[in-house]
Amino acid sequence: MAFSDYRMALVTGASSGIGATAVRRLCAEGLTVHAVARNAARLAELAAETGCEPHALDVCDSFAVERLVKSIDVDILVNNAGQSRRGTILETTPGDVNTLVDINLRAVLHLTRLIVPGMGERNRGHVVNISSIAGLYAFGENETTFNSSIAYHATKAGIHLLSQQLRVDLLGKSVRVTEIAPGRVATNVFAHAKVAPDDSARLTTSFETLQPSDIADLLIFAIKAPERMNVATLEVTPTCQVVGGLQFARRAV
């Protein structure tokens, strides 16, 4: 599929960061882009800049989402909306668990079930799921992370398996599925993560980080790939970020 085969895209979490950058890039390719986020003011600014169609709604509001997608034929779905919360299993709260499951996983499942069948019927489409290396690896909490979140890891792992199973479900259709699993990106994903403001700023200023434009570049690359080629999983980290390392807890005396 080429961009000329696609007419309409829908991007969630579109008011800032990766989502807003993806909207800009897709609009520049000539698509009609429906930008979904809760922040109406930022969406209005983005619409004035790009000509996108703004929709100020919560992706967790399945009724509002269903009303929207019933009226449009989406060729490219970018599941980008997400939040993080700090907390190991010893300290995470019921509210944090529910919020992350609702935004990071449940909303993605609902959007996918509402939109992908139409792609299958038209035999045309591309789903791009923005996950995280947190869905592929376990992290210890230390001075370079200090945002360990078991609920975040679990929901992003769900997106990883969702992406894999979706390809199985769509076998034989000209509908492609791409998962982009970034390391640290300079976005506001930590805004709700219960990290002190100074620490949150240090996460993206004291260490080399990816930029939203880097992820948008990957998104465009995957969509522009020849029809015969499905870019399945893109794992990308800053050059100076790695996952790994053996840890031991000292034996209690």
Instruction: Map out the domains of the chain with their CATH numbers.
Output: 3-236 (3.40.50.720)
pLDDT in tens, 177-207: 999 999 999 987 655 555 555 555 555 566 8
pLDDT value at residue 180: 98
Q: Output the DSSP codes for 199-218.
A: HHHHHHHSS--B-HHHHHHH
Encoded tokens for 177 = 């599925």
CA distances from 146 to 127, 171, 194, 202, 203 (A): 32, 40, 10, 11, 9
Would you please indicate which residues are annotated as catalytic (active-site) residues?
Answer: 152
Phi, psi of 54 (to 5 degrees): -85, 140
Coil, strand or helix: which one is 161? Answer: helix
pLDDT in tens, 72-105: 999 999 999 999 988 888 889 999 999 999 999 9
